[in-house]
Chains A and B, each alone.
Chain A
Amino acid sequence: MAVAAQSASEISKKKSSSGSTLLRVGRYTAIRLLTLFVTVVIGVYLTILIANMGGYVDTIMKSQITERITQAAAANPTFRSMTPEQRQQTVQTQIANEENRMGLNTPVVIRNFTYLANALTLNLGRAINMTSDSGSKEVRLIILERLPATLLLMGTSELSLFFISLLLALTLSRRYGSFWDKLVILLSPTSTPPAWFYGIFLILLFAAVFKLLPFGGMIDSPPPTNPVDFALNVLKHLILPASALFISQFFLSIYNWRTFFLIYSSEDYVEMAKAKGLPPRDIERRYILRPTLPTIITQFALLLITVWTGAIVTETVFQWPGLGRTFYRAIGFFDTPVIVGLTIIYAYLLAITVFLLDFVYALVDPRVKVGGNQ
């Protein structure tokens, strides 16, 4: 009976513990989500303010409209036959129409909040000046159209870079001071030049001199009609830009991971495991990889959302139709809806990733407790 009573008490404690865990996790989740949402709101609003230059973009756009329309009027022979007054009136009407079309008649504060509200609800709206390649002014389509190309390029280069450098780093960390280790250290400054720098060299070598690979673009002109040939042709065009991105970060990435693993490899518990005579593979798996897993997962998760952003200059050098170039064009056009559209998606992805990582840490590392003090 006493045993039974004790068990009931234990069960009650367990229930109480389970209930408090749920409460803790629930409270943590709510606060975390709220915090992240507020962060996203502030981040996006700041983006809108910066994209609008605090309203100065309106002045720029109005001047550009005036310049464009007045010069078109001057070049239009039918306008030359009009009196100066008629001409001015017509030109002013056109300028007013264009300002109205671009929404410049709505106060910038109201527009900013409209952009913000639309962005938060993922109603990406219409671009001001830009169109998608297929001719759509929907920001959603402008982004979606370029997304596959960016994911293909960035995904290929970044994922292969991540896994290859991780594996090589792990191997090197076991061969500290070896020739290959020294070679990697020596070559790590090669990551100083940006990817496009390597891109130009690769183009010169493999396109201009050896004529093995195309200079740029995503497909031959005319594109192959057979789907298999089409895919192979895209892959052929992918080799140089993906290689440029890969090479530009390769040695530094190995060096970083190798240093990271070395730090963990020199922990006391690793030395203890070695002293106990555990096999190297077990040491690697249980004593090095496991404690480093949260960092690796974090890096991987952040990499996945970085893939979204594209590579502005590399895409330009290789004429790759990716999101990086879209972003660059949007900035050049002062196309706030497109800039906000790209930013909000990135912001949401980042927020969701950060949120999920907290739980993932708890799953992979027993020392971590969601919403706990440690």
Chain B
Amino acid sequence: MLRKRMMLAIGLLMAFSMVLTACGGTATPAPTTAPATQPPSAATQAPAPTAAPTAVPPTTRHGGWLDEIDVSTVDSSSAVTQIQAGAINIYADGLSPADLQSIKSANLSYGTNTGLYYDMMYNPAVFKDANTLNPFSDRKIREATNMLFDRNYINQEFYGGGALVKFFPFITDGPDYTDLADVAKGLEAQYAYNLDKAKSTIAAEMTTLGATQDASGMWQYKGKPVTITLIVRNDGDKTRIGIGDYATKQFQAVGFKVNEQYKSGSEASPIWISSDPTAGQWSAYTAGWINTAIERDGKGDFDAMYAPDSAQGINPMLANTNIDPAFLKVADDLNNGNFTSLDQRRQMMAQAMKLSLQDSLQVWLVDDQNFTPYSNNVQVTTDLGAGVEGSQIWPFTIRFKGKEGGALKWATTDLFTDPWNAVAGDNWVWDQALVKATSSGAFMLDPFTGLAWPLRASKMDLTVQTGLPIFKNAEDWVTLNTADSISVPSDAWADWDAKTQTFIPAGDGKTAKVKAVVTYPSDLFQTVKWQDGSPLTPADIVMNIIETFDRGKKDSPIYDDAYAPTLQAWQSTFKGIKIDSTDPLVIEYYTDGYVSDAELNYPGGPVAGQQLIWPQYGFGEAPWDLIAISNMADAGGKLAYSTDKADAKKVEWMSWIGGPSLDILNTELTTAAGSSLIPYAPTLSKYITADDAKTRYANLQAWYKAHGHFVEGTGPYYIDKAFVTEKTLTLKNNSDYPDLADRWSQFSVPMLADAKLDGPAQVKIGDQATFDVTVTFQGNPYPQKDVKGVKYLLYDATGAVVATGQATAVADGHWQVVLGSDVTSKLTAGSDKIEVAVSPIPVSQPTFTSLTFVTTP
């Protein structure tokens, strides 16, 4: 009897569990009601809640804060659980907004950075089939669809409110947006969700195009329903499925028939990228884009995202031939930097923003966010653009709170995805994050502003051609001068002769638009060491310059077909480089390429592409001796730096971290050590003696013997051991690193401002009204000197912007907006709103807040 009861109980339990299984997990219910009246604003975005700063006592520790970082791979679905269980301390690759709630529920710390951004991209072509109408070949219809999509609804419904609504191609919480907030808010109000307006505009245009509406309200053209083929991406974080379904509903609401097709990235790209737009295989596509760093300068975005001469040069842009010539001109002018002042740039940006909405080849919807969870005893810097894993600064700041040393468990998505070599190896973000931990560099990118700080360099003197739109921020390590003409010294190295293995001088009469002179500290070559113990020498830097040219020269034994176009592109702006002195090290760099921020015009910065002033190759640092043996393997046809050359030569892609490459490199090392080889002797023998070479190779041999790989740098951590199949790796502190561990401690937490707006609930039209803005950081007043400005925008009851201006600083953390009687007299009776945008200097993200008040006659 007992057994029968037991059987019954087990049976019931099983049946219940089967039902549960069949039901499956349901998504966390997202808010279904869109706050349709809420104007698109960043005010609802929670500031990145990084951990509270920990008082950092002075330290004598060199290198990183931790003794050891143990790296492993973890599936993103279990990341939060594993942090909770203490199995890992950080999931560095970050999670999507869909996981934000679980991070919060687990009470974990997390960093926030910008992620993907999404839009509706249209096919602007007139279809070949004259009987098929493409409504999106009409600019006004594209423009009207801005009002067809409720971006707030999309944010709340599909991104849990964790994204930012987006109307423009540049990042919504970036420097350009803040600078142009008044323009942006005005346009956002004008193009806010308004189904009726969208419907009437589309109806008028469709009628002009010759379409008719049937009794059910569906558009017909030459006897056929007007059909939109909407390509919806169904991979990634799946949010684009929601966007696609919503767009389908909205298109149907204005009378279109929709052929909605779910496709993965690989299925979609042959259609939206490669197909002839006039063939009509698609009408609209749920596009997504990414920025991997803080975008400080979005002036090129209009050209890239709309123009037929776009740098992207893909079919949808190329087909946008009916672009407004005025828009094309301003997009091109912005892209080419054809302005001479920030005011002029601002005006051009404002014009481009307006015209981009009129063009609407792409209708921007949301800026997504990425969240990096970590345990509460961990402190790490999150780059506002690149997150933790993609940042340069993470190895310099990651630590256990209030503690020196310890072993941290770092988890990420994958490891060793491709072979590691600094010249043309693995570029996956999770692998590069670890390479960065072993590297130092001449400059450090500011994680909160996207500007740069000298790391191993000490200063830069920048001279730019008069009239170029290059402007200095508040940084004192860079000087900015102008000159009518900048001559390139005749003995500067301008090119490379691969046959004679010597540099080709610039010769007489060459000029450049920009000259950057980078100076290093006098003790550079005494204090900076490679992790195998060899001191840094000028030869390491010269080797990088040679390598940059040599791989792209047909006469070179390490020539790489795939690299040649990149070199060619870079050389179109590069004018010359000259090592002025080696004690201290001073390097002059001449170029025609530039960006607007003076600080970012260092060689190897966002414009130069090649970091010639430090032994920093494309994918990591390397000493000259390692490059020498790698060149031997590449030239000898045993290995190849790049995957392209490896495939062409049918040899292995060179890996410094594991696999069959290691034995080959070790053999080359033995050969080089035996002959104390000086590579590129006609040039490098001026910088390397036979004894130097002997010591270098011996140190590298000892390193390989101790660690079983060849990856080394000058950074705060070194790779002790790597297990490539098991996908684990151990980083250990480099106690020989010249800097103390606290050098970058000021970047522990981004100084995102908290803003509050206070003022009268009721304002009489024609009376003066005063509003107080309180700006704080972690409860303390935000210093005036750290705030670029507090801008206000005044909206009337219809949502239109009636006035903008700057608030007046009263004290630290206190600004005031005074609306004069002339301003309040522009308001009409009803509910009005004032919004302020606070732009702090230490971070590139503005803070918005608003207050609603009633106006009475």
Contacts and interface: CB of A to CB of B under 8 A. Distances in A.
Contacts of B86: 211
Interface of A: 56, 59-60, 62-64, 66-67, 70-71, 73-74, 76-82, 84, 86-88, 90-91, 93-94, 97-98, 101-102, 126, 131-138, 141, 145-146, 149, 179, 182-183, 186-187, 189-190, 192-193, 197, 203-204, 207-208, 211, 214-223, 316-317, 319, 321, 334
B701 interface: no
24 contacts: A59-B270, A63-B273, A66-B314, A70-B314, A74-B311, A78-B572, A78-B573, A79-B311, A80-B300, A81-B572, A84-B309, A86-B569, A97-B562, A101-B643, A131-B418, A133-B659, A133-B724, A135-B653, A136-B659, A182-B7, A203-B81, A215-B74, A216-B74, A217-B726
B756 interface: no
A265 B562 CA distance: 70
Interface in B23-75: 68, 70-75
B311 A222 contact: no
B71 A221 contact: yes
B380 to A, nearest CB: 18
B311 A73 contact: yes
B682 interface: no
Contacts of A133: 416, 658-659, 724-725, 727
B652 A135 contact: yes
B655 interface: yes
Given A94-B562, A223-B728, A70 B658 contact: no
B266 interface: yes
B274 A59 contact: yes
B592 interface: yes
Contacts of A187: 10, 14
Nearest to A88: B313
B647 interface: yes
Given A88-B313, A193-B21, A60 B727 contact: no
Contact of B568 (A63, A67, A90, A319): A90
Contacts of A91: 313
Query: Of residues A82, A145, A214, A215, which shows the largest number of chain B Cβ atoms within 10 Å of its Cβ?
Result: A215
Query: Of residues A56, A90, A131, A216, which shows the largest number of chain B Cβ atoms within 10 Å of its Cβ?
Result: A131
Nearest to B731: A222
B661 interface: yes
Given A73-B313, A74-B304, A98-B562, A134 B18 contact: no
Contacts of B783: none
B572 A135 contact: no
Interface residues of B, number: 84
Contacts of B781: none
Contacts of A70: 312-314
Interface in B394-439: 409, 416-420
Contacts of B269: 60, 63-64, 66-67
B84 interface: yes
A316 B274 contact: no
A223 to B, nearest CB: 6
Interface in B681-701: none
B561 interface: yes
A137 B654 CA distance: 10
Contacts of B526: none
Contacts of B802: none
Contact of B18 (A82, A136, A145, A189): A189
A192 B728 contact: no
A192 B724 CA distance: 35
B530 to A, nearest CB: 22
Interface of B: 3, 7, 10-11, 14, 18, 21, 68, 70-75, 78, 81-82, 84-87, 265-267, 269-270, 273-274, 300, 304, 309-314, 335, 409, 416-420, 561-562, 565-566, 568-570, 572-573, 592-593, 595, 606-609, 643-644, 646-648, 650, 652-655, 657-661, 720-721, 723-730
A214 B87 contact: yes
Nearest to B82: A215
A221 B569 contact: no
Contact of B607 (A67, A78, A126, A219): A78
A78 B618 CA distance: 14
Given A76-B609, A183-B7, A149 B723 contact: no
B14 A135 contact: no
Contact of B569 (A56, A82, A319): A82
Contacts of B730: 221-222
Query: Of residues B81, B724, B726, B728, which shows the largest number of chain A Cβ atoms within 10 Å of its Cβ?
Result: B726
Contacts of B727: 133, 217-218, 319, 321
B75 A94 contact: no
Contacts of B723: 219, 223
Contacts of B606: 77
A287 B536 CA distance: 81
B190 to A, nearest CB: 29
How would you classify the secondary structure of chain A's contact residues: helix, strand, loop or mixed? Answer: helix
A214 to B, nearest CB: 7
Query: Of residues A81, A98, A179, A182, which shows the largest number of chain B Cβ atoms within 10 Å of its Cβ?
Result: A81
A97 B644 contact: yes
Query: Of residues A134, A187, A216, which shows the largest number of chain B Cβ atoms within 10 Å of its Cβ?
Result: A134
B660 A141 contact: yes
Given A63-B270, A67-B314, A134 B573 contact: no
A76 B21 CA distance: 49
A237 to B, nearest CB: 9
Nearest to A91: B313
Given A135-B416, A208-B85, A186 B10 contact: yes
> Which 6 residue pairs of A and B lie closest in terms of their CB atoms, listed nearest first?
A134-B659, A135-B655, A135-B419, A221-B728, A63-B269, A135-B659
A73 B310 CA distance: 10
B75 A211 contact: no
Contacts of B608: 77-78
Nearest to B648: A101
B652 A97 contact: no
Contact of A77 (B68, B87, B607, B655): B607
Nearest to B416: A133
B252 to A, nearest CB: 29
B262 to A, nearest CB: 16
Contacts of A317: 75
A217 to B, nearest CB: 6
Contacts of A221: 70-72, 409, 728-730
B569 A316 contact: no
Query: Of residues A137, A146, A149, A220, which shows the largest number of chain B Cβ atoms within 10 Å of its Cβ?
Result: A137
A179 B647 contact: no
A73 B728 CA distance: 33
Nearest to A68: B269
B263 to A, nearest CB: 11
Given A60-B267, A101-B643, A217-B728, 9 more contacts: A59-B270, A62-B274, A64-B269, A67-B269, A70-B313, A81-B592, A87-B313, A93-B565, A207-B82
Contacts of A182: 7
A8 B417 CA distance: 74
A200 to B, nearest CB: 9
A64 B266 contact: yes
Contact of B14 (A74, A79, A189, A319): A189
Contacts of A146: 725
A211 B565 contact: no
Contacts of B658: 133-135
B75 A78 contact: no
A182 B419 CA distance: 55
Query: Of residues B7, B85, B309, B720, which shows the largest number of chain A Cβ atoms within 10 Å of its Cβ?
Result: B85
A317 B75 CA distance: 7
A131 B416 CA distance: 9
A149 B725 contact: yes
Given A78-B593, A215-B82, A137 B18 contact: no
Nearest to B75: A319
A207 B85 contact: yes
Contact of B653 (A77, A87, A131): A131
